[in-house]
Amino acid sequence: MSGETVEVWGTLKSIESNGASISNGSLIQVSGAYDKAGADGNGFPDAQFVLTASFAVAPVENGLVSLYAREYPQDGSGLRIDAPEATRPGRFIGSFVVNDRAGSQIMVLMGIDLPPKADYYLHNVNTGQAISAGWKLTATPRSYKSAS
């Protein structure tokens, strides 16, 4: 129907395809950046992040793996804010909630109003277990437009 708002999706981008192990309580940088303002996101304000990760031992039910952004200031300098730390992780994007079972898990997080360009970090907050090496993180841009 004309005038209604519809959801539109961009092209999926792999941000990490083979991540290193992340011990419980640790923070690790994702190997790729996600540029919302550029070719990655085409200016779409949001993105759906999908984390595929494995645990050798069942993690704590409802444990969290949080996603943080290290923004690039938009002043043209090319500089970035200080790197996140486990005790000062940076701009919070959201958390993936884990299930209490060993093996592979697929978790989804909707990132809303993302920074124009940022490096991303995963924080294995309180799962009680290490995330096994080989995890993957993808982002699919999302926006809204008027139906035609």
**Residue 3 belongs to some domain of the structure:** no
Is 8 part of any domain?
no
CB atoms within 10 A of CB 9: 12
Which pLDDT score, from 0 to 100, does residue 78 have? 66
For 41, the domain range is 16-143
Q: Is residue 133 part of a domain?
A: yes
In a domain, 74, yes or no: yes
The answer to whether residue 119 scores a pLDDT higher than 70 is yes
- Find tokens 């779409």 and name the residue: 44
pTM summary value: 0.89
Is 10 a member of any domain? no
Bridge partners (DSSP) listed for residue 131: 22
What is the predicted pLDDT for the residue at 66? 96
Q: In which residue are the tokens 């437009």 written?
A: 145
Give the tokens for residue 31: 């190997």
Domain count, the chain: 1
